[in-house]
């Protein structure tokens, strides 16, 4: 029987790569994305057309759903859609995330802070609280999985990106806490923390630092290159598998050595 997952932030970047990788492992996926811009996020969000491209790659294996991760109603709809359309839910993957305005903390507006916090932290919470009861109800032997995309920023500090850094630290802490809540039920919860990866967030980061292109970030990573979304997705898919059954509450660095101390 095919396993079923929900992936948020699924229209591009790591989210889209995760949908692709899960389908390659015989998953059926509800691919969720907001598909419209967010006030106080200084770059364009993915579009419905982007989400449709991801869905078309996989035919009946993927169902696209426009939804906002900050909405409890939308995340509950995603869970209901998965169970109604595909018959079950086995994994929930929180890939949705944004980078806000750059600058010293004391120059960041409340609205800009709230935009970053609401998507990265509240959005992760909303998916987990919607999915957890269904994963628990499947029973201990069902290998229920929750994975959240954090960041190398979740274990270090980034110049002029304090809201993003704080939010990603919070995602890691949220996962560690909920992993303890879920442990008695056989459901694992883990974070994956990418380094500099070819995504819209990295392009926005380059603008914060006045860089002409993202290639300059390769120097941050001992492997000497940027990461591809598919490399992050590979780690996510492994954490969704039965092979990762002994791992919970972990923050897995997929960062080319960026945070090795």
Catalytic residues: 164
CA dist 97 and 100 (Å) reads: 10
Number of Cβ within 10 Å of residue 106's Cβ equals 6
Cα–Cα–Cα angle for 12, 171, 163, nearest 5°?
85
CA dist 20 and 230 (Å) reads: 9
203 close to 225: Cβ distance less than 8 angstroms: no
| Of 192, 219, 169, residue with least CA distance to 14 | 192
Q: How far from each other are the two terminal CA atoms of the chain, in whole angstroms?
A: 43
Per-residue buried b or exposed e for 66-103, using 16+ beta carbons within 10 Å of the residue's own CB: ebbbbbeebbbbbbebbeeebebbbbbbbbbbbbbbbb
Q: Which residues pair with 197 in a beta bridge?
A: 227
| Of 235, 139, 150, residue with least CA distance to 187 | 139
Q: Which residues pair with 149 in a beta bridge?
A: 192
């Amino acid at each position: 029987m095919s396993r079923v997952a929900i992936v948020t932030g699924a229209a591009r970047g790591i989210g889209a790569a995760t949908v692709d990788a899960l389908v390659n492992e015989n998953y059926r996926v509800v691919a969720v994305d907001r598909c419209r811009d967010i006030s106080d996020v200084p770059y364009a969000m993915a579009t419905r057309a982007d989400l449709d491209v991801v869905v078309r790659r996989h035919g009946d294996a993927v169902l696209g759903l426009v939804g906002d991760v900050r909405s409890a109603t939308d995340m509950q709809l995603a869970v209901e859609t998965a169970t109604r359309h595909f018959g079950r839910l086995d994994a929930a993957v929180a890939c949705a995330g944004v980078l806000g305005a750059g600058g010293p903390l004391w120059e960041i507006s409340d609205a800009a802070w709230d935009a970053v916090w609401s998507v990265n932290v509240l959005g992760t919470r909303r998916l987990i609280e919607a999915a957890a009861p269904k994963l628990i109800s499947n029973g201990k032997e069902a290998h229920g999985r929750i994975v959240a995309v954090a960041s190398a920023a979740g274990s270090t500090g980034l110049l002029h990106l304090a809201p993003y850094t704080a939010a990603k630290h919070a995602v890691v802490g949220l996962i560690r806490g909920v992993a303890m809540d879920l442990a008695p039920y056989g459901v694992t919860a883990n974070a994956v923390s990418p380094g500099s990866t070819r995504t819209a967030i990295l392009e926005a980061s380059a603008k914060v630092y006045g860089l002409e292109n993202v290639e300059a970030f390769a120097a941050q990573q001992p492997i000497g290159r940027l990461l591809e979304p598919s490399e992050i997705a590979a780690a996510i898919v492994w954490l969704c598998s039965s092979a990762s059954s002994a791992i919970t509450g972990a923050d897995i660095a997929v960062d080319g050595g960026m945070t090795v101390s």
